[in-house]
Amino acid sequence: MNINKKVVVLNVSGNVGKTTISAQLLYPRMLDINGELPTLVEVETYNKSAAGLPGITTIAKTGSQYRDVYEMAYEEKGLIVDVGASNIVPFFEQLTTFKGSAHIFDKFIVPTTSGVKEMHDTLKTIQLLRAFGVGDDRLHVVYTRVHGDVVDEFKLLYNASATNEYQFVFDRNLCIYETELFKELGELGETVASLLADTSDYPSLIHSAENPQAKKRYVKRDMALRMASTVSDNLDSVFTHLNLSKPAHEATAIKNSKK
């Protein structure tokens, strides 16, 4: 699959899953026709970063370095721009300064959790993007840390999606379910992709372990691998429903049919 897209991941709210979406969901799946990975730009100052994770190369920028990001959007085949909450204001200021430049990005992904503040911030982010001409063909809200029924958990957004003030496509397929794995990955210094690349026979290693510490380490790794398979299936599904490989008008038609 050849996915040469320019994608921005952002929300005025912090701690909603932007790095998870950029590094765990998009980065390993947005391959070009030669299997080359996209470029990941982190527009961040303070918060959690994907820098240093195995298999991931990041470029650090700030919101005021929008010129650099703009140039990269024309130079790179595939580009992911992860805009941290600490840089959201200068990023939007630069979009205002360079009028019409938002058109260079194919998709804007807005991650959100089910917290009331986070959902209100999501609606604010949607309104800001609308002001820059981002329509339903380029806007996706992704629901993170979902425990069960996404409509019930994100009722505020579901209701708002049908109003004239905030209207957007509420796609129930764009759910990343709550899992202990992401905490485990942080402790292990791994990604879902790098963990799944581990082909070690951990059941055999567990049985042959000579001390409790080694056995505990192998058990932890084995459990993480089993969770990673389930999480990867979830991320595959979300990626498929983002329709990044399709022209914008086709993606919109598909999403509207599921609303």
212-254 pLDDT, tens per residue? 999 999 998 999 999 999 999 999 999 999 999 765 434 343 4
200-214 pLDDT, tens per residue? 999 999 999 999 999
Q: Which of 23-37, 52-66, 86-100 has the lowest mean pLDDT?
A: 52-66
DSSP 25: I
**Two tokens, residue 195:** 């963990």
Q: Global pTM?
A: 0.89
What would the mean pLDDT of 67-80 be, rounded to a whole number? 92
β-strands 39-43, 79-83: how paired?
parallel
Segments in 32-65 forming alpha helices (H): none
- How high is the pLDDT of residue 44? 81
What would the mean pLDDT of 154-174 be, rounded to a whole number? 97
Q: Where are the beta strands (DSSP E) in 44-112?
A: 58-61, 79-83, 107-112
What would the mean pLDDT of 142-159 be, rounded to a whole number? 98
Q: Which of 73, 72, 92, 104 minimizes the C-alpha distance to 12?
A: 92
Where exactly are the structural domains of the chain? Answer: 6-182+235-258
Q: Quick count: other Cβ atoms within 10 Å of Cβ 53?
A: 20
> Rg of the chain's alpha carbons, rounded to an integer?
19
- How high is the pLDDT of residue 48? 62
Using CA atoms, how far apart are residues 119 and 153, in angstroms rounded to an integer?
Answer: 11
9-22 pLDDT, tens per residue? 999 999 999 989 99
What would the mean pLDDT of 173-183 be, rounded to a whole number? 95
Quick one: CATH architecture of 6-182+235-258?
3-Layer(aba) Sandwich (3.40)
